Structure formats: structure tokens, C-alpha cells
Amino acid sequence: MNSELIHRIVILGTGNVAVRLSLALKAAELEIVQVYGRNKAKAKTLADKLNSAYTDELNLINHSADLYILCISDDALEEVIKKISFKDAFLVHTSGTTRIEIFGEKHEHFGVFYPLQTFSESKEVNFKNIPFCIEASTKDDKSKLITLAKRVSDHVQSINSEQRKTLHIAAVFASNFTNYFYSIAADILKKEGLSFDLLKPLIQESAAKILSQNPENAQTGPARRGDHKIIAEHLKSLDTNKDYKDLYELISKLIKRKYLGQ
């Protein structure tokens, strides 16, 4: 049965997901046979790290791999999928939101291999804790993907397209939007000549708190306390930046309504 396991993999894409995922797979002793990237230099850089071949032409993609992992933007998926037309290719994408149906009728073996995490080009991340959301065209294909994902993660789950989209939306709030708020905080401090380092222990603790209590109970701050005097002072200080002021006002209003019914 060993011959049925996925071993030889082609990575399509050279972004953060492609880099981190392919390195994790290599570390788990999978073989990355080729990297495809529109940007040849970036494909070479990644391929060098993986000891793999690389190409910037879709029609030069190796036909003999067990799996083709598409780590490319959602907008580009449809076109790339169309162009990989050789028989029996097993394709997966790594998108949070794109439905499995995007693989269409031309392909027989396809699925989703979605690691629920934020990836940096330079920062390593521990894959063991990352939830992997798996979906596939057939039971057998799903089983293969689950086996593969378990090589790198202890949290592999079968998740359908609808649930995956919900997870992705929640992740946008919990990660992308919170990071944007970190950058607002950094910007506010910078304008007053204060170091962003001062906020780092607070940011770490705010994230750590939700490991031991639900975020509803973890809520603190002027809006949660209904401290209108402080909110008014903060809004006055934010007068010079309408975007920040509007955000502060809107979110404070929502927090007050949620907790205080005001």
C-alpha cells in the first residue's frame, strides 16, 4: 500500500504559504520535485532551499508527481487549474475560501489542503499546532491528504468548503484585522516619538489570555467599563486622524452595546 502514499510533490507558487509549507514538507521527508513560479528568480530561490527543480512555464511542469499543491492567489487559481491538464494529476489548493468545485470536471483527483495559519517569508512557524483543513474529491484522495498532513501537523481535520469559508472569515477578523490594529497602534506611537516596543508585552498577553478564557470574558478597556470620559478624551486626541477616530468610535459603540446594552 505504500506506493499509494503521496511522496513526490510539485509546489506551485512562491509566496509565504508556498515557502513555509514546502519547507515543512521537506523537513518531514517528503520530496519536492519541482517549484513553479511566474517569477523565475523567486522560483529558483525556493527550489534551491528544497533541492528541487524549478520552472516558470506551466507546460514544463513535471507530470510524474503524486501531488500538485497550488499555493497561489485565489484570483489566479482558475486559470492555472485549466492549464494543468495532464491525466490523473492530483491537484489541491491551499485557499481558505475558494470552493473545491473550482477544479471543475476536467480533473478527477483534487482537494483542499488549507493550513489555518498566517505565514511570513522569513519567520519559521511550528507546523505541529497548525489546524489543517482537508477536503477531497474521493474518500481515497481524502485519506491520502490526511496522511500527508499528519506528517507535519497534529491537528488535521476534515472540513467542507462552507465551514472552511467560515473559518477563513473568522481568521480575517482574528488575525489580519488585529494585525492592522497593531499597525495603527505603532503609527499612533511613532507620531509621538514613542517606541512600539512598549506595547509588545501587552499584545502578547492579550493573545495569551484567550488560551485560558474565552474572549468575551477577557474583554477589558474603557468601552467595556463604559468609561465615557476617557472615550471622549481619546476621540478628541484622535481628531487629527479621521480614520482612526471613526474606527475608535465605531468599535467602542459596538463593545458598549454588547456588554452594557447601551
SS3 content of the chain, % helix, strand, coil (to 5): 55, 15, 30
Q: What is 87-141 written as a DSSP string?
A: TT-EEEE--SSS-GGGGTTT-SEEEEEEE-S---SS----GGGPEEEEEESSHHH
Nearest to a second copy of 5, 207 (CB atom):
207
Nearest to a second copy of 27, 60 (CB atom):
27
**Residue 76 CB, nearest approach to a second copy (Å):** 10
Among 134, 136, 152, 110, CA closest to 20:
152
**Farthest-apart Cα atoms in the chain, separation:** 69
**Residue 226 CB, nearest approach to a second copy (Å):** 9
**Residue 55 CB, nearest approach to a second copy (Å):** 24
Nearest to a second copy of 33, 112 (CB atom):
112
**Count of CB atoms situated within 10 Å of the CB of 244:** 19
Among 87, 89, 92, CA closest to 69:
92
**Residue 259 CB, nearest approach to a second copy (Å):** 10
Nearest to a second copy of 8, 155 (CB atom):
155
**Residue 54 CB, nearest approach to a second copy (Å):** 23
For residue 12, the SS3 value is strand
Nearest to a second copy of 81, 89 (CB atom):
81
Q: 29: exposed, middle or buried (C-beta count within 10 Å: 0-12, 13-18, 19+)?
A: exposed
